[in-house]
Amino acid sequence: MKFIEQKLAGLYLISPEPYEDKRGIFRRHFCQREFSEHHLMVDIKQCNISENTKEFTLRGFHFQSPPFGENKLISCIRGNIHNIVLDVRPESNTYLKWQSFELSEKNRLSLYIPLGCANAFLTKQENTWVLYYHSEFFTPKAECGIKYNDPMFNFDWPADPTVISDKDANLPHFNQLYGDLNGANSNS
């Protein structure tokens, strides 16, 4: 696997090195040794699959508050997503910056998201499945979120969501959670 560090501190795009022969393709998706060599999550506590039946389904922005913060490894194993990661770590040199990525079954890329970053994605086709590995267990009392279209950040979504949960549609804006801050509209 190739680990490609991104502009947001601790964020990695992971590209597999598939082996192909007449049977098809074999690729490694997680290796404790390789992740450890890059000082990334090696202890997986939970694994989830999000099955999204409709195009333009939105999920997020989600994260868990300290001390229950979690690292995530996200892969689109069927279909295609537009994924955005937002750094909400006050101590980070990329605080309040965001980056977007296209993850799909065709490009086989994964995204390693460090704890303290919020994540959201929009499906770009029907029947899109997203696989998540988490370094911590889901803790309902630590669940946090930020509205997907918060004007403070000017997120660049490829389309407006047509399917969104009531919970995600009603998430607060960042300023409602943390108060007024300046300089938060850049996507490094």
Tell me which of 29, 38, 95, 132 is the catalytic residue. Answer: 132
- Residue 98, CA distances (Å) to 11, 133, 140, 153, 174 in order: 11, 21, 25, 8, 13
Distances from the Cα of 26 to the Cα of 20, 53, 128, angstroms: 6, 26, 21
* Pair 95, 89: CB distance under 8 Å: yes
Q: Is 62 a catalytic residue?
A: yes
Q: Is the link from the previous residue into 174 a cis peptide, with omega within 30 of 0?
A: no
Catalytic residue selected from 62, 95, 173, 178: 62
Query: Which one, of 25, 78, 12, 11, lies nearest residue 50 by Cα?
Result: 78
Is residue 112 annotated as part of the catalytic site, yes or no?
Answer: no
CA atoms within 13 A on the CB side of 9: 13
Q: Which residues participate in catalysis according to the annotation?
A: 62, 132
